[in-house]
Amino acid sequence: MVDLLDPDATAVVRAVLAEPPRLGDVRLLAVDGPSGSGKSTLAQAVRAELERAGRTVGLVSTDDFATWDDPVSWWPRLAEGVLHELAEGRPGRYRRTRWPDGVPVLAEWVAVDVPDVLVLEGMSAGRASVRAHLSCLCRLTLPGPAERLERAVRRDGESARRHFEEWQAFEKGWFEVDDGWPPLFLRME
């Protein structure tokens, strides 16, 4: 696995394509980091570059699973519905979480065809329990907490500020206990 800290899309594409698939025939790329660090932006840029290179790409966001009250324990839904299926060469699926009236509910089913590369994007996407299946792990750490908070509030509105402050405290603890996150700048295993 290649482990990149604060990379750009070109570096990520090079790294993920240089590594073998470890989720069946799928290369699994995790773009992980705290809220407001640019994970979604990087994931979209990587997806576009991979598609330009002629690769089929799936993109799944942990935002489709996580809620304020359940930031990480939803993982079995993703692992069973998508990751295990793709590892066996079968399409996966999951129910996306939507927020009508600010309340999370399980909504429509999302199909995930078997791609050349699956980009899994969001806080906890590169958790210790999935690392053996990753071809590449991107860990975004910049900017600092205050700027990340303002980015998230600009994106989701002032009414989300208190939630994001609590979320940042949770993230800090999560990354400390999830196998010593973050590690070295670049690590080849």
At 102-154, the pLDDT tens digits run 889 999 999 999 999 999 999 999 999 999 999 999 888 878 889 988 988 99
Task: Check which CATH number belongs to the domain holding 167 and give it.
Answer: 3.40.50.300
State residue 187's pLDDT score. 31
Count of domains observed in the chain: 1
* 6: pLDDT strictly greater than 70: no
Query: What is the pTM assigned to this prediction?
Result: 0.90
For residue 50, give the amino acid letter. Answer: L
For 6, residues 6+ apart whose C-beta sits below 8 A from its C-beta are 139, 140, 141, 142
In a domain, 142, yes or no: yes
In a domain, 154, yes or no: yes
State residue 89's pLDDT score. 98
* 183: pLDDT strictly greater than 90: no
State residue 29's pLDDT score. 95
**Packing angle between helix 9-18 and helix 39-52, nearest 10 degrees?**
60
* Domain around 162: 2-74+115-188
